Amino acid sequence: MFFHPMDFLIIIAFALSLWASFRVRGTFNKWSEVPVYSGMTGAQAARRMLDANGLYNVPVEAVPGALTDHYDPMSRVVRLSEPVYYQNSISAVAVACHEVGHAVQHEVHYPMLVARHKMFPVVNFASGIAPILILAGFFFQQLPWLLGLGILFFSCAVAFQLITLPVEFNASSRARDMMIAEGFITNEEERGVAKVLNAAALTYVAAALISVLELLKYIMIFTGRNNDE
């Protein structure tokens, strides 16, 4: 392995990713101290948003930890971290409704989410074998197909991350529209909700950027070797 010019951009993107991680926690903590005018907890907001979309059979459960919130498409359950589940803050309501946004996507067969679910088994395998093949490709330069195959598998993982972006942004958009329409938040509180959701989205953008830059780096190395032969 050697230092490639693309590594400068990857380091910058990695720094952005670290900053995004700190920012999402800081933003969440800041708006966790601001109660919503409606007085609703995250759990109550999630339940009402689910019911408003006809998802009466999708339960809302509390799970340990912080920022462990997610929608489980296999069990069809919205799981909220305990601070989000029990608090009546802007952060809690924003995160809870974002996760419900994924449940709504599942119900209406949002195309990007459908594609993401179909890709998952392939990506799960590809993301595990790609690093091994790429590393082998660097060590055994007389076998260039190893690096090429590694790049192919790695591109599947990158595509998965890119598809994740519109899925996350769409879930946030659905959440914001519903929160205002159903009176979960006031128009003045929307600014805080936007900050919480945008901070979370930035972590996905930074992760995708790192993956894209790494993929471009491997492609440049692979094509450069072929040109030298």
The residues that are catalytic are 99
Nearest to 207 by CA among 16, 5, 67: 16
Distance CA(48)–CA(178), nearest Å, equals 10
Question: Are residues 91 and 84 in contact, defined by beta-carbon separation less than 8 angstroms?
Answer: yes
Question: Are residues 209 and 13 in contact, defined by beta-carbon separation less than 8 angstroms?
Answer: yes
Strand order in the sheet with 60-63: 60-63, 77-81, 70-72
- DSSP-assigned letters across all residues of 30-77: HHHTSB-TT---HHHHHHHHHHHTT-TT--EEEESSSS--EEETTTTE
Question: Are residues 171 and 198 in contact, defined by beta-carbon separation less than 8 angstroms?
Answer: no
Q: What is the DSSP letter of 5?
A: T
Strand partners, 77: 72
Which value, to the nearest 10 degrees, does the dihedral of the CA atoms of residues 138, 220, 151, 215 take?
110
Q: What's the token pair of residue 198? A: 């945008």
